[in-house]
Structure formats: structure tokens, C-alpha cells
Structure 1
């Protein structure tokens, strides 16, 4: 267990009071975003609520909740878009809320998103507070809220649910709650394919901890009193900790593995059947080749060249932030998680416009910026965040009333 893991976590009520400024700030940013969206949509004769709950992927999730799996769309070019591409946890929750309340499936997705986004904000705060302190935690939450595609946090999408589960899984790892981390990682695997990032973080932390314990174990034949250490505890506690750690490693991949294997069985494609489903959407992992070609194609015209240059700058910024995270020696679980999320987002072979949305759960990338903001005078950091919040709200309204998230 590292020094970070050894720090005592605050009790429940105290933790909520400690996180209150971050949660209130987050709610204010999201309320601003929804208000601007409502006004913009009304001016264009559209329903903001429909944009949030019954368009794009949100519609696919509600169809899974209502009809179950098996729905597919065959396109003229021969592609098959199957709803098996969408992981089941969000539709399960939509179905549950529909069963126990008067809410429709779409309403249920919106409610889940609102609650999950607050849980995610609290989780982001908990992680950042644990690593860098309270002010950095508040700044991290507000930075996550004001991301240009932050409006997705209020949509009936799975990003908020996934980020909530992932953030609390990482916090559980940082505080030595191994079984909790394993369970949450398994739920992440039932939410989005990128749940593999949380599984990787659990395994990296677990294996490192096993190696550390082995390196500090007394040599064979040595007298026990010569190697006694209060950090290791007695042998019973060591065995119990190893057992919890092993259980976490076993639990973490169950969600993703279970769904992927079920899809393979249902489609007859075997263990790799889910990849065939994704191929029907022309989605896969090619190491970033297709994305690089997409960016290169932008430079065939002057307006396109500006867009291509913007994409290069954006990718460079993401990579730069990750390098800074490494240099600042963030805890290993955060580095592994952010690295896998970033790699999967940037190296997917299709839906290039969705990459900012796919990066939304990679909140550890924001921690260097949060730390820098926390060192500014409060008035100056508030001015920066407030200005970005307004710009983000306007962009979110423009985006959803235009092309929207693919």
C-alpha cells in the first residue's frame, strides 16, 4: 500500500460537506448549460429535452431498455448497426426506473444521467482531493464540468454513469478498498467497452501491490523479530489483505467478459463476436491510422486545413497533459486508467467526431490544470472558470442543435 493509500478517507457525512463547494459549482455549471440549451433550442423551434433524451445513442439505449437486444438497422451499403454494440447497465437502470415509477424509458435515462453526473463529480473531487488537496479537487470538478462537450454529462448517455463508477473505483484503489474497486470495475465493464481501462487500473495496482509485499517479505530462515514492521501488520491481516486484493483482481473483469461472451454466444461469433458487432458499425482499433488519415485529408482546402490544424493541436494537448501527469507522478491507477481511455479514444477507427466525447471519462488528464488553477487567487480562478463555463454552455447548445454527438 502506498503512502496515498494509507491516508485515511474522511467519513461519509464529512466527505459530503468537504465536497459541497465542488458539487454546488458543478450543479451551477450544468444548470447554465441546460438553460442556454433550452433557450437556443426554443429559438430554433426544437425541444431541448428531445435532444437530451431521444437522439443519437440515447435512442439506442431506450430501445434496448424497451425491446431488449436483437434490434438492428441494415444500411444501403451493407453495414449492420446492431444494438448489441451498446452495453447493458444503463438500459437496465432505465428499465428499472420505468418499472417502479411513471417515468418513460427516456425519462429514466435522463434521471440516471443527472444522478450519475453528480456522483461522477463527487468521485472526481474525491480522487483529486485525495491526491492534491481540496482546492485542486474543486477545480478538477469544475474543469470537468466546463469541458466543451460537457453537455453530454446531462444527456441520456452512458458517459456520466461510467465516469461515476470509474472515479469511485479509482478512489477505492487509492484508499485500499480492494473489493469495492473490483465490484465497481465490473460494473464499469457492463457500462461501456472502455471499462477495460478500469480493469487495467485494478490489475496494475493489484500486481504492483503483490510485488511490493513480496519485496518486503523477510528472507527464508530470518528471525521474525528482525523483520517485524508495523506497516505490514500481523500475518493474519496480511493474508486477509492479499485475499481481498486477489478477489478484486477476479471480480474486475467479470462485467466486460460476461457481456462480451454473451454477445459472442448470441451471435454465434464465439469469444470475438462482439468485435464483429462493432465492425458492423465500422468501428474498431487500428492504432490511430484511420484518424491520422482523416486529419491529413483535412489539408486539401484552406478551411479544412484550419480544422486539421485544430485537431492536431487538440491531440497534442491531450498527449501533453498525459506526459505532465506522468511527470507529476500521479498514482499508478490514475495513469493506467487515463492512458487506456486516451488510447482507446484516439485510436478508434471510426466516428471521429465522437472522440472528444469518448475522452470525457479521462478526468485524470485535468488534474495538472486543476493543480495550477488551485494555486491562483480565488478571484482569478473563478474568472477563468466562469468565462469557460459560458463558452461551454453556448458551444453545447450550438452542437446539440447542429451535428450533435455521433
Structure 2
């Protein structure tokens, strides 16, 4: 049986259904229930945001569909890569934004009467639902249906989960990530490679998914050699396919910028984003601890610190190798990258495996003390809804 203590489950094993949530309902119905909880959670979040925005005379759909990075993506969807702006760091270009999301928005606007902002929300909300299905599938395969459901609910109640209701790319990356990880856990190597390649066209940190597929393929190859089993060509094919989307876009931008290998990274530096092994982040943390700042910044620090603790718990739990590599790579980008500190929690939204220890604890609490679990979920929902409304309506800061 596949269990979380294995580094990567064999494709010949079957999922662990858990001891108390065996087949009373079909897997499809169970997944539907989990996704229904997620959609309900996000619907309440949007309702709270709408009330807050109306009280300040603002349109909630405009906030969700046309805020910050959404405007850049919608511009690409409508006009292609043509926009540049001059900042104190230099001239920034819309080529810093990967092409998959605007391409999907363009498809929706071409096939429907929706405008750019509404089409962007349709893409994001659909991707969030697909991601919720995949997250449930991963959780249920490893620890049973109850944990899968709790995992989806916790993901929908993150303090910064308002991003899942915005015209942003995190839902798209998470959808690809969840199903790529599920494909790896179930031994579907070619699917994993193709999904990781498509994910590579969605966001810069999607390289974490390609690295996961390559690492998993190498691990499985080593295991086959040790066990004197034949190494299937699917392993190497998946490892070769997985990085193609991300690499192709980075090289294309580099060629346009005049340096195939460095062009994209130079472009990101002009946006103030670079990997400096945490130097910039540490300097900002020192400023925050010594001088303080607006609520968004200490909240971001708490969320990132919680991510580190949860990763340590995931390691202690001996989670499967793909989950460790994927979440570790995303955490590395957040901890070692310099840029908008307030955006770091958003970069961790696709790192849903970090929530597995909390989901397992929530299920144990719900079985032993249902009222306690209800209070915990209610508190998380209140924090998520109030903080999400604050971020979009009051904070007036990039997300």
C-alpha cells in the first residue's frame, strides 16, 4: 500500500483509503463534496470582500479582475507583448509575465461575449476548481478521503486565499501542480512530464514542478537499478519533456532581450526581482523587526515562517519525494528571492502539500472533538475573509 513514509510510491501500488473513510460513496462524489466545500469557502470570502468594497464605493469585480498584475496579463491577452514602462529601476517589460494565462484569457474572450477582466476571472475560478480536485486527489491517495477534504478546505482558507478569486496565475499553476504530483504518485510518468511542461508556461516559479519530475524520475531509475528491474523509457521521456515549457519561454525572452541565457533574468532584475540567497529579504526583516511597518509586512513574515515550520513537519512525516522537492523549491524561491516582500505569501499558494500535516491534525481533532475542529475552521475562515478584504480594499499594495 502507498503510504506517506515512502519517498515515492511505486506505480504498482494502490492508494491508502484510510481506516475510517472507506468506500461508502464513490470517489467522484467524495471529490465533488470536497470541491463543494472549497467553492463555498471562497464564495463567502468573495461576499465579505464585496461588502467591504461596496462600503468604500468600489466595485468588487473590478478589484478581483483588474488589480495589479492582472492588468499586465489582460494587456498581453488583448494586444500581445508590447507594453513597457519606465521605473526608478529602469524600463520594465510585460515579457516578465509568462504566456499561458493570457492565452487562456484570449481563448475565453474569443469564444464568449465576456470582456478581458471577466474572462480572466473565469479562467482563474475554473483553474481553482480544477486545482481543488487535484489537491483532494493527492491528499486522498496518501492519507484517505477525510484528509483530502480537509486539505482542500485549508487551502481555500489560507489568510491570503483571496488571490484564488482574482485574475491571477496562482490557481493555474496549482492546478497543473496538483495533477502533476498525483500523476507522479500514481506512476503516470508521461502525464506528469506533459503537465509539468505546460505548467512551465504559467509562472516563473513553475520550474519547481519540472525539477520535481526530473528528481522523481532519477530516484525511480535508481530504485529500478537497485531492484534489478527494467528502466522504462517513460521515466526519461517525462524528465526530458518536463522542463521544455519553462526553458522555451525563458530562452525566447532572452533572445528578444539580446542575451539568450541572461536576458530573461536581466529583465526580472529590472522589476526588482532576483535571487540573492536571502540577503534582500533578511535586510527587510531586520527593518521590520526594528522599525515596524504596515500590517501586510508582518503578516507576510508570519506566513513565510509558518511555511518553513510546515516544511519541517512534512520532512518529519517522511512525505513522498515529489512533494518534498516541489515544496522545497517553492520555499527556496521565497526565502532566497529579493523583491516585493508582501508578495511572498502569494508565491506559496501553489505549495499546498505544506498543509498536509495540518489537514491530518484537523481530521484527528474532528474525530475526537468535533466542536474544537469547528472552532478552528471558523477562526481560519474569519481570518481569511477579513484579511483578504483588507488586502484588496484597504491596503492598496501589490499582491
What's 1:215 paired with?
226
Measure the CA separation in 1 of the matches of 2:122 and 2:383: 25
**Contact 1:62/1:91 (8 A) holds in 2:** yes
Q: CA deviation at 1:307?
A: 8.4
Q: Is the 8 A contact 1:126 1:137 kept in 2?
A: yes
Normalized against structure 1, the TM-score is what?
Answer: 0.89
Select the residue among 352, 363, 369 that pairs with 2:358. 369
Query: Which residue among 291, 305, 308 is the counterpart of 2:281?
Result: 291
User: Which is higher, the Rg of structure 1 or of structure 2?
Assistant: 1
Alignment correspondent of 1:84: 95
Tell me which residue corresponds to 1:66: 78
User: Would you say the 8 A contact 1:173–1:181 is kept in 2?
Assistant: yes
1:308–1:38 CA distance, 2 compared to 1 (3 A): closer
CA distance in 2, matches of 1:43, 1:331: 47
Equivalenced residues, count: 382
Deviation of residue 244 (structure 1)?
A: 1.2
Among candidates 6, 18, 24, match of residue 12 of structure 2? 6
> Residue 84 of structure 1 contacts residue 263 of structure 1 at CA under 8 Å; is this kept in 2?
yes
Deviation of 1:270 (Å)? 1.6
Q: Distance in 2 between matches of 1:29 and 1:313?
A: 22
Which position in structure 2 is the counterpart of 1:18? Answer: 30
Q: CA deviation at 1:6?
A: 3.3
Q: In the TM superposition, what whole-angstrom CA distance separates every residue of 1:140-171 from its partner, at most 9, and x where no partner exists?
A: 11111110110100100000010000010000
How far, CA to CA, are the matches of 1:250 and 1:392 in structure 2?
40
Q: Which residue does 1:95 correspond to in 2? A: 106
The structural deviation recorded for 1:128 is 1.0
| Counterpart check, 1:205 vs 2:216 | yes
Q: Partner residue of 1:177?
A: 188
Aligned to 1:222: none
Residues 189 and 324 of structure 1: CA distance in aligned 2, closer, same or farther (over 3 Å) = same
Contact 1:269 1:276 in 2 (8 A): no
User: Following the alignment from structure 2 to structure 1, what is the Cα–Cα distance between the partners of residues 300 and 83?
Assistant: 35
Distance, in Å, in 1 between the alignment partners of 2:186 and 2:284 is 42
Asked if 1 retains the 8 angstrom alpha-carbon contact of 2:161 and 2:388, the reply is yes
- C-alpha deviations, 1:202-251, integer Å up to 9, x for none? 0111000001111111xxxxxxxxxxxxxx5xxxxx46xx1111110111
Does residue 144 in structure 1 map to residue 133 in structure 2? no
1:374-385 to 2 correspondences below 5 Å? 374-377=363-366, 378-385=370-377
Task: Give the Cα–Cα distance (whole angstroms) in 2 for the partners of residues 62 and 313 of structure 1.
Answer: 32
Question: Is 1:195 aligned to 2:206, yes or no?
Answer: yes
Tell me which residue corresponds to 2:168. Answer: 157
Native 8 Å contact 1:295 1:311 kept in 2 = no
What is the CA-CA distance between 1:20 and the residue it aligns to?
A: 2.0
Bigger CA drift: 370-379 or 279-288?
370-379
1:395 is aligned, of 377, 387, 395, to: 387
- Residue equivalent to 1:250: 240
Q: Is the 8 A contact 1:148 1:392 kept in 2?
A: yes
1:55 aligned onto 2:55? no
Structure 2 equivalent of residue 319 of structure 1: 308
- Provide Cα deviations, 1:320-379, integer angstroms capped at 9, x if missing partner: 111110110100000000000111122211100101111111111110011111101244
Q: What is the Cα deviation at residue 21 of structure 1? A: 2.1
| 8 Å Cα contact 1:62-1:94 kept in structure 2 | yes
Q: d(CA) in 1 for partners of 2:300 and 2:343? A: 13
1:308 Cα offset (Å) = 7.6
TM-score (norm 2): 0.91
Is 1:261 aligned with 2:251? yes
Q: Is the 8 A contact 1:206 1:245 kept in 2?
A: yes
Q: Which residue of 2 aligns with 1:221?
A: none
Alignment partners' CA distance in 1, 2:311 and 2:236:
29
Distance 1:165 1:395, change over 3 A: same
The Cα shift of 1:129 comes to 1.0
SS across alignment from 1:124: helix
Contact 1:4 1:130 in 2 (8 A): no
RMSD (Å) for aligned C-alpha atoms: 2.1
Residue aligning to 2:4:
none
Q: Matches of residues 299-378 of structure 1 in structure 2 within 5 Å?
A: 299-301=289-291, 303-304=292-293, 313-377=302-366, 378=370
